[in-house]
Amino acid sequence: MTVIFLKYKHRIKNGELNFPVSLPGNLKRSKEPKIPELAEMEVIRHFDRLARKNYSVDFGFYPLGSCTMKYNPRLNEELASLEGFISLHPLQPEETCQGILKLAKKLEEFLCLISGLDAVTLQPAAGAHGELTGMLIVRKYHTEKGNPRKYVLIPDSAHGTNPASVTLAGYETVEIKSNEEGLVDIEDLKSKISEEVAAFMITNPNTLGLFESNIKKIADLLHEKDILLYMDGANLNALLGITRPGDAGVDILHFNLHKTFSTPHGAGGPGSGPLGVKKHLEKYLPVPRIVEKDGTLRLSYDFPHSIGKVHTFYGHPSVWVRAFAYILRIGKENLREIAEFSILNANYLRKKLEKFFENPYPHRPSMHEFVLSAENIKKKYGVRALDIAKRLLDYNFHAPTMYFPLIVKEALMIEPTETESIETLDEFAEVVEKIINEIKENPEIVKNAPHNTPCKRLNEAKANRELDVRYNFNE
């Protein structure tokens, strides 16, 4: 009840809640809405049928590169639905929610330990939001030094959210080329470093699934000119317990809790994109921050250099609970195995699939994902990466990520994750081989795929261009 009273404080008159509130006449409907009248059973069948049309990690293999669609242990769900967590309200007095604050504080500490950074905020709602928060910190840091600077450098293999965040924070993106090995071209980087560059935004392992082994050298080059090194930590899966970005000179990094630390995600949420920084940037982190005062945890706004708030409340606690449970259950000693198995699985599957496609960057072993090119298939048979992805759906596999990173033609980006068994990976490779044989014998089958799914080939852009999610009562 405390919760409701706080939220509707302004509605309390003489100690009574003044409900229901009546709407002014001009806002009321003149006619009853035409809501479908159905029995409970019909409703249940309708939704159950709809659910069966869906694809999910719980149903089958989801090799969607960059997204880390690993299995999410049910234990996390159970803990996130504990009564104490689900009945929390963001306006609750701090004394009444010490549990979640303690969990949050501890999770911040875990993330510091894992990343080698000194302070973490859990406020950003997802990875891209973490990036924007990071870029606002970059701006504040340079502004306080007298010049916000103009440019942020980004490799040509970067995720689309990187330049978007840079732009939103008021910077201009300057692209850095990748070399033949698929890593940052150091000469190109050197030629673009100047006093007007605010930060370099790098992803490591990069989106080709390759480890940027020059990361320390890059950090040193940048720091000579007081340029901050931002790392997109979406691929942290591959580094857990093996190496720490902070030790390599990274100043700012976002985590994707929903990817690395397991929360069911996709189709828009939920997510959580905590941001970690080195000591010299801590004072800029968004408020409120969790601080301990006289044995009680409090949300403090007393950080005069802070960039301010980036979220209405404090972030997405239900995702924190899942990540916290996941880390605790795996244990500090075993986190490394997540990375090792994700790397092993990626390299295993890469070797199997390299027989069928081109590998534009074959020189180095992969980390947790790899990118192949179907350009050879397109040239010889006129069948595209998109067609192959669609045909995979007919065989009950989710499609890989396609046409990203942009530097690879007809890209197929595959991330098996550490939770898939060798049997599943073998089965996937066999199905790919089957599809390659179909292409040789009768390419039309693949070009017109999918054949077995509830919807056939959709217009890829229409739903975005003409978004309409209303139920039309009058139709």
User: Minimum distance from CB of 443 to ligand PLP (Å)?
Assistant: 32
Q: Which of 421, 71, 132 is nearest to 265 (CA)?
A: 71
User: Minimum distance from CB of 236 to ligand PLP (Å)?
Assistant: 10
Q: Which of 69, 126, 399, 436 binds ligand PLP (CB under 6 A)?
A: 126
127 binds ligand PLP (CB under 6 A): yes
User: Minimum distance from CB of 43 to ligand PLP (Å)?
Assistant: 32
Rounded Cα–Cα distance for residues 1 and 131 (Å): 37
Tell which positions 224-253 bind ligand PLP, by CB under 6 A.
232, 234
Q: Which of 203, 260, 262, 306 binds ligand PLP (CB under 6 A)?
A: 203
Q: Which helix (H) or strand (E) holds 203?
A: strand 197-203
Binding part of the chain for ligand PLP, among 42-50, 123-131, 169-177, 239-247 by CB under 6 A, reads: 123-131
Binding part of the chain for ligand PLP, among 96-104, 122-130, 402-410, 459-467 by CB under 6 A, reads: 122-130
66 binds ligand PLP (CB under 6 A): yes
C-alpha pair distances (Å), 289 with each of 104, 119, 123, 270, 282: 10, 10, 9, 22, 11
Residue for token pair 């950074």: 117
How many of the chain's residues bind ligand PLP (CB under 6 A)? 13
285 binds ligand PLP (CB under 6 A): no
Binding part of the chain for ligand PLP, among 115-123, 124-132, 222-230, 359-367 by CB under 6 A, reads: 124-132
Q: Alpha helix locations (H) across 269-419? A: 317-330, 335-353, 375-381, 385-394
Q: Please identify, using beta-carbon distances, which residue of 171 and 356 lies nearer to ligand PLP.
A: 171
Nearest-10 Cα torsion for 67, 70, 71, 74: -60
Q: Where are the beta strands (DSSP E) in 7-165?
A: 12-13, 16-17, 119-121, 151-155
128 binds ligand PLP (CB under 6 A): yes
271 binds ligand PLP (CB under 6 A): yes
Q: Which of 209, 273, 405, 416 binds ligand PLP (CB under 6 A)?
A: 273
Rounded Cα–Cα distance for residues 272 and 42 (Å): 36
Q: Please identify, using beta-carbon distances, which residue of 243 and 453 lies nearer to ligand PLP.
A: 243
Bridge pairing between strands 296-300 and 289-293: antiparallel
159 binds ligand PLP (CB under 6 A): yes
Shortest-Cβ-distance residue relative to ligand PLP: 127
Q: Which of 76, 115, 133, 161 binds ligand PLP (CB under 6 A)?
A: 161
Residues contacting residue 99 through CB under 8 Å, at least 6 positions apart: 84
Rounded Cα–Cα distance for residues 56 and 69 (Å): 9
DSSP annotation of 94 reads: G
Tokens standing for 17? 């809640």
User: Minimum distance from CB of 405 to ligand PLP (Å)?
Assistant: 9
Enumerate binding residues for ligand PLP (CB under 6 A). Answer: 66, 126-128, 159, 161, 203, 207, 232, 234, 256, 271, 273
